[in-house]
Homo-oligomer: A and B are copies of this chain.
């Protein structure tokens, strides 16, 4: 709201409403962004509302225009994201806006998608419409942080999560780790999963913990479950091999021994990669429509993911317990830092208590 031009201020409440509409589809639009839109008639009265409800479904502007019908003539459309000007799964929104006879378009943020990226706005201006840009742009960007990151970097926004004791241990020296945190913190993990497109573990976690990795019905559809295995030496029986609840992908690099597949059931999909670099896995997942993924892996893969810039956000649960033990079960492996000042420094995002435990979210 700082230095917002006078002609923008009147649009703030309508953009806020559009953001509210966009958020109605949170967690369900990947690989598409969240978008909300409202239409005002020539007298400034609200005549249409819409939001994008998922890939393949109509865009927010089309929904709002459909509701407005002929009342849109000489009116204004407010939309959180620049209208698209290309044929995707649905036709370009710019053409629908022009056809509806609107006079004014109020845009929250420019679409980072290189097929749009200012071209939508140009198309509207060239057609004689007034375009007002940048209204609540930060808020509009924040609801699509992961979409924008994926479009700009070609890989999904990565979240790494771990749960540790007060003395920084993710397990006892004997390997026991169930349960470090209490039920509210574990529910919180299920909710985080429900907002991610995929959850990734390493082969070691499958062997040691045999996890299920679902949102426990926190969401209509479950995130994709990904096992990233170097060797493919995986257990013949595992909860993840049952793909009735959720899809599972087994991803592996050049060292993976494909003969192991004969011992595994057919449910999980196979994804062969050219390297063990986590960023290659994430590029593949971006192509499969993932905007946001969750690393729920052990120290070795977590360390590799951080070093490969595949972690943008960290969620650390700390339990009020002391496990002890010098030599085992820390969250991360050695990075080889020689001084504290060269270590990774993160930015605070959110701190809260979850039952007895605390949850600290930070951004890299």
Closest Cβ of chain B to A114, distance in Å, is 33
For the complex formed, measure the closest distance between the CB of A9 and the CB atoms of chain B, giving whole angstroms.
Answer: 33
**CB interface residues, A 313-355, toward B, < 8 Å:** 314, 316, 318, 320-328, 330-340, 343-348, 351, 353
* Complex interface: chain B residues within 8 A of A358 (CB): 351, 358, 360
Interface size on A, residues (CB 8 A): 52
Given A331-B167, A356-B348, A360-B358, the answer on whether A180 and B321 have CB atoms closer than 8 Å is: no
Q: Which of B325, B331, B334 contacts A335 (CB 8 A)?
A: B325
**A164 contacts B by Cβ under 8 Å:** yes
Which residues of B have CB within 8 Å of A321?
340, 343-346
A104 to chain B, nearest CB (A): 44
Name A337's closest neighbour in chain B (CB-CB): B172
Inter-chain CA distance A173–B322, complex, in Å, is: 21
A interface residue numbers (CB < 8 A to B):
164-169, 172-174, 176-180, 299, 303, 306, 314, 316, 318, 320-328, 330-340, 343-348, 351, 353, 356, 358, 360, 362
Q: A166-B362, A324-B335 given; name 10 further pairs at CB < 8 Å.
A: A164-B167, A166-B360, A167-B332, A176-B339, A176-B340, A318-B360, A323-B335, A324-B332, A324-B333, A324-B343
